[in-house]
């Protein structure tokens, strides 16, 4: 029975291919155009439109192995990882699907055949669960499935168990396709007595296969409506079935994880499972040994990081990027705190993951260097604050315990988040490890304040809950300059598709036609605007969106009344031409960046509209001015060459064979794709690196000369490892250059220097200003000397004496010392009978230790017969006794030394 996980994966695919299923490659972990998902979390995600009936494909049966992440949203296994031996943030889901073809009968029959006849799993160890019904949703028990298990298989009838909605009604998210499911569980107890442990979240009896019978759609209001057709969606965790077939008790003892744990052992003195005293130490199932927990967490998270970053999900402070950052920092903390691994180490594990899985998922091989660079940079960044953050946590936890309490304040959790980069769930985990908890209400309140400044309204139109939208022929979008006659099929009203009635003048709606020449937003290109016109009426289209194979015209009736069945003329606004210029230029920019910056550049997103183009790409540092100039020159050379833009439709398999063809992270492609090539020969298969070739469904110029002019206006960072270029074309580019020319002429006039001498002139002026700032005020020749330097556990402080009482000069000194690395600076000076004291503390030290500049001067000022105060980061005081200045500075050093520890 024992088989490697590679063999199990191959067995599964072949079994279903032999039964008429089409093998469909895994989709990206970045959900293409589904705003309800953080990550691809199930094999069915890429088929959601098929289940809703808004799209069709050239197959009705499919099988694959899908890479999945469950670390956010409705399905979130992050907190369980490491504590048990069978939950993961990343896993492979083997699955087979039927789209309106076979249903429960074949799904159940084939599942039993594969498990027991092909793989030989013991029948007396298998259990099948069936949905018992739910009164609140008005759902009856799935007696059909129970009967089929009895009639089609030789399972022990007593092993068919009824399950509640939580366990046996599957839903992808809060909205979307769903239905009852029948799960297969395997009993791994020594004596086969695990019946009572089915669905009890016990590692000894676990689910290995879930057969979902999709027949409903869950609306945003929680209601269930029948889908146009019934479907089958099954999912089998490769890690779990591998454990069962290899005779293990832990997923981490399979050939998917052991090589990663062995690599971790080369970085630490800890030996996984060594203290368990069992023959196979990797098959340990304890949660008490924190070193073993750490190894499991790190092994799991290394896989997640490899696949997520390879699919373009970059660590950041928002959304799915923040989840990836949390995962990385969680792994780094476990390695540093519990395995005593010094420095960065996660990148070394990427190599092992790629070696294990690169033959099945070639994208991680192609992007390995990029993943390693991203992980290394992110881990180094966190490493700079990790130890200090742990120290702060320990100090605050000790204070709480000393006060006889066990709740850590939300302000501490927020400080750890904002100053040291500790995700709050990491702080909660650290608190739980010492039997404490975090005041999450207080933390959330502070987070709300923090987010208010940057929060957007998040208003977008969502159609995920609208079932039964009809297909629309949008082939006319490629001939947008011609008005197109079409017929109104209906419109969307809330979550319903309406096919009767009328819309009066002033009504806002989303109109669906039988055909259109409007381009629906996709692939980075914004949706068209324009109008639908009929005798006596007009519907102004403000935006066009896509829902499966349906095109949605969003807008309002401006004149007349719009009826279902009404014939209309579709007129696209003329600014589409500017969008086409920008889209074709984006392809040339992509090509030029690879030529100049390197072939490791991958597109990470784009926005193409009539006013500008934005292009996001993977790159670890800024593109310098010389490189940008070369990119711009290369694009404009091809614009002036007026090269032909060719379009070819072909199968996805054939397109992937074209040398140099480019695709986009997270983009969903059908079996038939559109290939846009610039400068390619008649035979596209003969293309080389001089051709810009991409899979693209957007609209383009017929030749590059139509772009007119290409001008880069900015290059910036949008996330760690991701850069963004914004550029203009055509008239917009000309207008920008003209504006810049006016500015340059104005500056030339003010400085009385020709344009080509402006840089030298401004540089000389900056140097002169810098030298002037260094001179003592009034030219009196006063100086400032350092009295003492204090290096404490929490930072560095400098105390200094000024020869005079120039407060401006003293503040400049504080700034200079902070730039040199000082966290706190105190300067005192006297001029006649007047004493000036200035304290400066950086914000990080204020946040981490509570040391404040105002407190510092208040403590010292009385020594010189004065007083004062100020902000936590900057404070000033005066005094009347210069003879005590030396004593004051000595005390200032002692005070800050005690605070820094």
Range of lowest pLDDT (55-64, 423-432, 488-497, 779-788): 779-788
pLDDT at 877: 92
pLDDT at 100: 92
- Burial class from Cβ neighbours inside 10 Å (0-12, 13-18, 19+) for residue 479 reads exposed
The residue-averaged pLDDT of 433-442 equals 89
Interatomic CA distance for residues 652 and 640, integer angstroms: 32
pLDDT at 780: 44
Strands annotated E in 340-451: 407-408, 437-438
Q: How confident is the model at residue 457 (pLDDT cuts 50, 70, 90)?
A: very low
pLDDT at 43: 83
* Residues ≥6 apart with Cβ < 8 Å to 643: 678, 679, 703, 704
Q: Residues 437, 442, 443, CA angle at the centre, nearest 5°?
A: 75
pLDDT digits (tens, 9 = 90+) for 654-693: 887 777 777 665 566 667 888 999 985 444 454 455 678 8
Reported pTM: 0.62
> 512 near 491, Cβ under 8 Å?
yes
Range with top average pLDDT, 338-352, 772-786, 862-876: 338-352
E strand or H helix at 296, and its extent?
helix 290-310
The residue-averaged pLDDT of 319-329 equals 88
Average pLDDT, the chain: 88
Say which residue, 348 or 599, is predicted with more confidence: 348
316-340: b or e for each residue (b if 16 or more CB lie within 10 Å)?
beeebbebbbbbbbbbbbbbbbbbe
pLDDT at 667: 60
Q: How confident is the model at residue 843 (pLDDT cuts 50, 70, 90)?
A: confident
Q: How confident is the model at residue 556 (pLDDT cuts 50, 70, 90)?
A: very high
Range of lowest pLDDT (31-35, 221-225, 569-573): 31-35
pLDDT digits (tens, 9 = 90+) for 80-113: 888 888 889 999 999 999 999 999 999 999 999 9
CA 899 to chain centre: 40
Range of lowest pLDDT (440-454, 614-628, 772-786): 772-786
E strand or H helix at 870, and its extent?
strand 867-870
pLDDT at 21: 97
Say which residue, 382 or 543, is predicted with more confidence: 543
Tell me the CA distances in angstroms from 350 to 174, 213, 365, 591, one per residue in order. 34, 37, 10, 28
* Listed residue (430, 408, 410) closest to 418, CA to CA: 410
Residues of the chain with pLDDT > 90: what percent?
55
Residue 283 DSSP class: G
> 661 near 754, Cβ under 8 Å?
no
Sign for the CA dihedral angle at 603, 607, 610, 612 comes to: negative
pLDDT at 801: 93
pLDDT digits (tens, 9 = 90+) for 288-308: 789 999 999 999 999 999 999
Range of lowest pLDDT (210-214, 231-235, 598-602, 853-857): 598-602
Residues of the chain with pLDDT > 70: what percent?
93
| pLDDT higher than 60, residue 779 | no
The residue-averaged pLDDT of 777-802 equals 77
Phi-psi region of 821 (alpha: psi -120 to 50; beta: other; left: phi over 0): left
pLDDT at 422: 80
Q: What are phi and psi of 238, to 5 degrees?
A: -60, -40
Range of lowest pLDDT (310-324, 539-553, 586-600): 310-324
Tell me the CA distances in angstroms from 826 to 272, 800, 808, 845, 888, one per residue in order. 51, 6, 14, 14, 10
| pLDDT higher than 80, residue 864 | yes
> 8 near 245, Cβ under 8 Å?
yes
Q: How confident is the model at residue 898 (pLDDT cuts 50, 70, 90)?
A: confident
Interatomic CA distance for residues 595 and 755, integer angstroms: 31
pLDDT at 668: 63
pLDDT digits (tens, 9 = 90+) for 404-416: 898 998 888 888 8
- Burial class from Cβ neighbours inside 10 Å (0-12, 13-18, 19+) for residue 746 reads exposed
pLDDT at 456: 39
pLDDT digits (tens, 9 = 90+) for 191-213: 999 999 999 988 889 999 999 99
Q: How confident is the model at residue 459 (pLDDT cuts 50, 70, 90)?
A: very low
Interatomic CA distance for residues 486 and 484, integer angstroms: 6
pLDDT at 460: 43
pLDDT digits (tens, 9 = 90+) for 59-89: 999 999 999 998 865 556 677 888 888 889 9
pLDDT digits (tens, 9 = 90+) for 145-154: 999 999 999 9
Q: How confident is the model at residue 775 (pLDDT cuts 50, 70, 90)?
A: low
* Listed residue (847, 848, 841) closest to 827, CA to CA: 841
Residue 700 DSSP class: -
Q: How confident is the model at residue 364 (pLDDT cuts 50, 70, 90)?
A: very high
Range of lowest pLDDT (34-43, 437-446, 718-727, 869-878): 34-43
| pLDDT higher than 80, residue 377 | yes
pLDDT at 671: 72
Range of lowest pLDDT (13-17, 417-421, 792-796): 417-421
| pLDDT higher than 50, residue 458 | no
């Amino acid at each position: 029975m024992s088989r490697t996980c590679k063999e199990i994966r191959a067995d599964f695919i072949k079994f279903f291919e032999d039964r008429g299923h089409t093998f469909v490659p895994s989709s990206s972990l970045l959900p293409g155009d589904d705003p309800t998902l953080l990550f691809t979390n199930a094999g069915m995600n890429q088929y959601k439109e098929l289940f809703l009936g808004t799209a069709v494909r050239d197959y009705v049966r499919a099988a694959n192995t899908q890479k999945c992440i469950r670390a956010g949203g409705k399905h979130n296994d992050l907190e369980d990882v490491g504590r048990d031996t069978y939950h993961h943030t990343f896993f492979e889901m083997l699955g087979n699907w039927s789209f309106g073809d076979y249903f429960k009968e074949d799904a159940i029959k084939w599942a039993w055949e594969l498990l027991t006849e092909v793989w030989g799993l013991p029948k007396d160890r298998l259990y099948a669960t069936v949905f018992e019904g739910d009164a609140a949703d008005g759902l009856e028990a799935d007696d059909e499935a129970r009967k089929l298990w009895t009639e089609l298989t030789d399972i022990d009838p007593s092993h068919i168990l009824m399950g509640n909605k939580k366990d046996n009604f599957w839903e992808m998210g809060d909205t979307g396709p769903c239905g009852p499911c029948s799960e297969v569980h395997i009993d791994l107890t020594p004596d086969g007595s695990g019946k009572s442990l089915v669905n009890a979240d016990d590692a000894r009896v676990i689910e290995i296969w879930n057969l979902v019978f999709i027949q409903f759609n869950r609306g945003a209001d929680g209601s269930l409506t029948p889908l146009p057709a019934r479907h089958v969606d099954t999912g089998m965790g490769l890690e779990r079935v591998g454990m069962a077939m290899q005779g293990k008790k832990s997923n981490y003892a399979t050939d998917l994880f052991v090589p990663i744990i062995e690599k971790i052992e080369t970085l630490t003195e800890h030996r996984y499972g060594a203290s368990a005293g069992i023959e196979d130490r990797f098959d340990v199932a304890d949660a008490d040994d924190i070193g073993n927990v750490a190894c499991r967490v790190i092994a799991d998270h290394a896989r997640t990081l490899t696949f997520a970053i390879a699919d373009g999900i970059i660590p950041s402070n928002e959304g799915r990027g923040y989840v990836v950052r949390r995962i990385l920092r969680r792994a780094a903390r476990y390695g540093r705190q519990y395995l005593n691994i010094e420095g960065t180490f996660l990148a070394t594990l990427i190599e092992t993951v790629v070696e294990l899985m690169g033959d099945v998922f070639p994208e991680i091989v192609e992007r390995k260097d990029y993943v390693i660079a991203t992980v290394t940079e992110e881990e180094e960044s966190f490493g700079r604050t990790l130890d200090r953050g742990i120290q702060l946590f320990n100090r605050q936890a000790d204070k709480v315990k000393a006060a006889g309490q066990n709740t850590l304040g939300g302000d501490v959790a927020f400080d750890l988040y904002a100053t040291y980069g500790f995700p709050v769930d990491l702080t909660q985990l650290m608190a739980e490890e010492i039997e404490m908890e975090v005041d999450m209400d207080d933390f959330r309140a502070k987070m709300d304040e923090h987010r208010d400044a940057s929060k957007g309204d998040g208003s977008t139109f969502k159609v995920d809950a609208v079932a039964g939208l009809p297909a629309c022929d949008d082939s006319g979008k490629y001939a947008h300059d011609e008005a197109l006659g079409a017929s109104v099929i209906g419109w969307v009203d809330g979550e319903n598709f309406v096919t009767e009635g009328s819309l009066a003048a002033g009504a806002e709606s989303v109109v669906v036609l039988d055909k259109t020449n409007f381009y629906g937003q996709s692939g980075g290109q914004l949706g068209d605007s324009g109008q639908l016109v009929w005798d006596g009426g007009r519907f102004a289209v403000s935006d066009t969106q896509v829902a499966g194979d349906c095109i949605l015209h969003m807008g309002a009736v401006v004149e007349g009344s719009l009826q279902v069945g009404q014939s209309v003329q579709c007129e696209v606004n003329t600014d589409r031409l500017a969008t086409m210029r920008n889209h074709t230029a984006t392809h040339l920019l992509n090509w030029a960046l690879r030529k100049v910056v390197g072939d490791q550049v991958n597109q990470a997103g784009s926005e193409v509209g009539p006013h500008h183009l934005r292009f996001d790409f993977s790159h670890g540092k800024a593109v310098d001015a010389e490189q940008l100039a070369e990119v711009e020159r290369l694009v404009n050379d091809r614009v002036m060459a007026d090269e032909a833009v060719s379009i070819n439709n072909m199968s996805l398999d054939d397109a992937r064979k074209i040398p140099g063809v480019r695709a986009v992270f997270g983009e969903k492609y059908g079996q038939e794709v559109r290939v846009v090539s610039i400068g390619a020969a008649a035979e596209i298969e003969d293309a080389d690196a001089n051709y810009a070739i991409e899979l693209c469904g957007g609209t383009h110029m017929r030749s590059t000369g139509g772009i007119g002019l290409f001008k880069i206006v900015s290059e910036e960072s949008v996330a760690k490892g991701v850069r963004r270029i914004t550029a203009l074309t055509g008239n917009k580019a000309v207008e920008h250059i003209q504006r810049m020319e006016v500015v340059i002429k104005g500056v030339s006039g003010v400085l009385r220097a020709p344009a080509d001498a402006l840089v030298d002139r401004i540089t000389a002026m900056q140097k002169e200003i810098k030298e002037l700032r260094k001179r003592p005020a009034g030219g009196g020749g006063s100086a400032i000397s350092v009295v003492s330097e204090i290096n404490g556990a929490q930072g560095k402080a400098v105390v200094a004496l000024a020869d005079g009482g120039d407060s401006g000069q003293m503040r400049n000194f504080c700034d200079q010392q902070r730039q040199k690395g000082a966290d706190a600076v105190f300067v005192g000076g006297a001029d006649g009978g007047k004493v000036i004291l200035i304290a400066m503390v950086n914000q990080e030290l204020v946040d981490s230790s509570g040391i404040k500049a105002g407190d510092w001067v208040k403590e010292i000022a009385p020594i010189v017969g004065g007083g004062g105060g100020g902000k936590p980061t900057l404070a000033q005081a005066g005094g009347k006794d210069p003879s005590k200045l030396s004593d004051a500075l000595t005390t200032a050093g002692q005070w800050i030394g005690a605070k820094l520890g």
